[in-house]
Amino acid sequence: MMNKQVILTKRPVGTPSEDTWRVEEHEIPNAGPGEVVVKQLYISLDPAMRGWINDAKSYIPPVPIDGVMRAGSVGRVIASNHDKFQVGDYLLGTGGVQQYAVTNGKGWVQVNPQLVPLPTYLGTLGMPGYTAYFGLLDIGQPKEGETVLVSGAAGAVGSVVGQIAKIKGCRAVGIAGGPEKCKYIVDELGFDEAIDYKNENVRARLKETCPNGIDVYFDNVGGDILDLALTRINMNARIPICGAISQYNNTTPIKGPTNYLSLLVNRARMEGFIVFDFAKDYGKAALEMGQWLAQGKLKTKEHIVEGIENFYPTFLRLFSGDKRGKLILKVNEDN
């Protein structure tokens, strides 16, 4: 049986070109002692991937050249020498961008497709959902009645941030690109307001939509929007730094927040975090978010593209914003 794999070919400068990766096909090795073979079904595409292919000190080692591209994934066990995972089990892990993953099971967990559809385990009930949950609640610490602003608000993380803000009794304002996404987060997800950064004056709209200032700004994008948000923060505001997607493909130095002295004037805080640090509490988050999903308080949407060969053009959608919901690549039928 053959396994198509997306292999990292080189370290890109700026926006990755198509030859950053190549597709190879190899026989699937058998499961060794203690190993399982996972037929991968869905692969998660995340902005963080851009960082993983840089040769820079970061929170995890870079993907090696000629290695399989790193990615979260869900799939079904088709062969097992593992004492915990049986053939037929559905697993969530970091299987990489390939059709089959052979693993000793470390870091993989079993998931139940009866509870929520499998792709949701890559979105709201997975890394992006946990990122939203811990970044907002532990780092942002929103209090009832406060205003929470989030950028990338129609994305896998941002959409959950805004919905949890509403659940916690906050005013939720989202920044997204284009009228369709803005309509989606207000009409379907229940945000109070949306700012279309592609078509509106963000400075003016921040003033309109956050009349009482900003208490928590959950930043997914960096760049000019971070700078504008800094001009509207309240005393003791919290700014969880989740990412800076506007800067990931820069060939010039990153744009630092020119208005960072607003932190001083407002006794405010900018704080980075990595979801992996909260691993011991994933269960708590899954439970609470699972309940919100069941109660209809939390809505989720996946944008699924078919075919491992489409990895590259699908990856580019992360940065163009041409997607509707959590971006996922389907690489096998579940049969």
Task: Kindly tell me which of 96 and 222 has the beta carbon lying closer to a copy of itself.
Answer: 222
State how far the Cα of 41 lies from the Cα of 73, in Å rounded to an integer: 7
Q: Which of 13, 204, 254, 294 binds a copy of itself (CB under 8 A)?
A: 254
Least distance from a copy of itself to the Cβ atom of residue 48, Å: 10
Q: Which of 14, 29, 59, 334 binds a copy of itself (CB under 8 A)?
A: 59
Element at 244 (helix H, strand E): none
CB 218, CB 237: distance < 8 Å: no
Stretch that binds a copy of itself, among 30-38, 242-250, 283-291, 313-321 (CB under 8 A): 242-250
State how far the Cα of 269 lies from the Cα of 139, in Å rounded to an integer: 10
Distances (CA, A) of 9 to 22, 36, 83, 106, 310: 6, 27, 36, 26, 16
Stretch that binds a copy of itself, among 54-62, 180-188, 203-211, 285-293 (CB under 8 A): 54-62
State how far the Cα of 323 lies from the Cα of 303, in Å rounded to an integer: 6
Is 247 one of the binding residues for a copy of itself (CB under 8 A)? yes
Q: Which of 270, 285, 293, 329 binds a copy of itself (CB under 8 A)?
A: 270
Is 259 one of the binding residues for a copy of itself (CB under 8 A)? yes
**Quick one: tokens of 180?**
């369709």
Task: Kindly tell me which of 117 and 213 has the beta carbon lying closer to a copy of itself.
Answer: 213
Helix (H, G, I), strand (E, B) or coil at 331: coil
Is 267 one of the binding residues for a copy of itself (CB under 8 A)? yes
Least distance from a copy of itself to the Cβ atom of residue 241, Å: 5
Task: Kindly tell me which of 270 and 327 has the beta carbon lying closer to a copy of itself.
Answer: 270
Is 244 one of the binding residues for a copy of itself (CB under 8 A)? yes
CB 327, CB 158: distance < 8 Å: no
CA 103 to chain centroid, in Å, comes to 24
Least distance from a copy of itself to the Cβ atom of residue 301, Å: 26
Stretch that binds a copy of itself, among 9-17, 156-164, 197-205, 261-269 (CB under 8 A): 261-269
Stretch that binds a copy of itself, among 15-23, 160-168, 200-208, 270-278 (CB under 8 A): 270-278
> Which residues in 105-122 are b (16+ Cβ under 10 Å) and which e?
beebeebeeeebebbbbb
Is 256 one of the binding residues for a copy of itself (CB under 8 A)? yes
Q: Which of 114, 253, 295, 296 binds a copy of itself (CB under 8 A)?
A: 253
> Scanning the structure block, which residue is given the tokens 């090795």?
29
CB 161, CB 218: distance < 8 Å: yes
Distances (CA, A) of 219 to 116, 136, 139, 224: 28, 10, 12, 11
Q: Which of 327, 330, 329 is nearest to 303 (CA)?
A: 327
Is 258 one of the binding residues for a copy of itself (CB under 8 A)? yes
Q: Which of 77, 122, 136, 241 binds a copy of itself (CB under 8 A)?
A: 241
Task: Kindly tell me which of 31 and 221 has the beta carbon lying closer to a copy of itself.
Answer: 221
State how far the Cα of 277 lies from the Cα of 157, in Å rounded to an integer: 17
How many chain residues touch a copy of itself (CB under 8 A)?
A: 33
Least distance from a copy of itself to the Cβ atom of residue 270, Å: 5
Is 140 one of the binding residues for a copy of itself (CB under 8 A)? no
State how far the Cα of 315 lies from the Cα of 159, in Å rounded to an integer: 19
**Quick one: tokens of 52?**
């993983």
Is 273 one of the binding residues for a copy of itself (CB under 8 A)? yes
Is 165 one of the binding residues for a copy of itself (CB under 8 A)? no
Q: Rounded to 5 degrees, what are φ and ψ at 291?
A: -65, -45
Site of interaction with a copy of itself (CB under 8 A) = 57-59, 222, 227, 241-244, 247, 253-274, 277
